Structure 1
Amino acid sequence: MSLIIRPAQPSEYDAIAQLWMDSWCSTGLESPSEALLTYLKERLPREMANGWSLYVTDDDGELAAMLAVHVPKLYLDQLMIAPAHQGRSLGRRLLAFTRELLPDEIWLRCVRENEKAWRWYEREGFVFEGEEVEPSHGRMMKYYRWRRPTENA
């Protein structure tokens, strides 16, 4: 396994949308569908135009994960791992990469029902900041923040 984190290419957007759907649906919170895949395919270029930096983890030509970060907003927007690559510490590697991009502070949000994800972020040092309903889909979102530890702490 030779994993490389690199910027995504526009020619990969359809494959990234498929990976995104597969990862999201592996949580059990939604079922795969053509409607969901179409939505994600349409969302990728829109998010890129709105400031996303999009990365993929390439495993010898196979996409293993996607990472979307909005650097000016200090925001980790998406960290999705293909089901076949889950459980191999790839999330930790992508989070370390994110901390290189955003070394002082990172914000993110998780769907409240995705307990596996938010518990993992808590173990990785993120602090719960609050929750609110996301109007676009009606799900309750948990908001988290990580700050670089100070030298005196």
Structure 2
Amino acid sequence: MSELIIRPARPDEYDAIARLWMESWCSTGLERPSDTLLSLLKARVPREVAGGWSLYVVDDGGALAAMLAIDMPKLYLDQLMIAPSHQGRSLGRCLLGFTRELLPDEVWLRCAEGNEKAWRWYEREGFLLEKTQADPVHGRMMKYYRWKR
């Protein structure tokens, strides 16, 4: 593995970011990869950036290893997705540290209730559960967390 660099995402990378997002999300076992899901994510990435996301990638010698989407005004870590080929290498902890540099006093996030590995990790990282609620779009139960300095 070469030197990993966290940098802002470029528009020409949005399709590759959508693919990474799908592969990471599906690695949880909560959904299966599909052309439909990939199309939805390809449409969502530029829409979310236009809506306020600060979008970053972890660049591993030209290959995308992870994505990070933050809504700065809302103090919200929206997406932290690690490519399956790069999972288990502490990239999540690195990106969470980067997020805390950008949002040093408070960070909010949500996590699918069925993604136990993720929400248990966030709890170990100091996030406190605020509420559990069904997502109005897809109905999946979501756990809402907050970290405060």
Category of TM-score, reference length = shorter chain? over 0.9
Please give the TM-score of this superposition, normalised by the length of structure 1.
Answer: 0.96
Number of equivalent positions: 148
In structure 1, stretches of 5+ residues that fail to align are 149-153
Find the aligned partners of 2:3 and 2:136 in 1 and give their Cα distance.
Answer: 40
Find the aligned partners of 2:8 and 2:25 in 1 and give their Cα distance.
Answer: 21
Runs of 4+ residues over 3 Å off in structure 1: none
Measured after TM superposition, the shift of residue 135 of structure 1 is 1.1
Matched, 1:122 2:123: yes
Identity %: 75
Find the aligned partners of 1:146 and 1:12 in 2 and give their Cα distance.
Answer: 30
Find the aligned partners of 1:64 and 1:137 in 2 and give their Cα distance.
Answer: 27
Find the aligned partners of 2:29 and 2:133 in 1 and give their Cα distance.
Answer: 21
Counterpart of 1:3?
Answer: 4
Matched, 1:12 2:13: yes
Measured after TM superposition, the shift of residue 68 of structure 1 is 0.1
Find the aligned partners of 2:79 and 2:87 in 1 and give their Cα distance.
Answer: 15
Please give the TM-score of this superposition, normalised by the length of structure 2.
Answer: 0.99
Find the aligned partners of 1:45 and 1:138 in 2 and give their Cα distance.
Answer: 24
Counterpart of 1:63?
Answer: 64
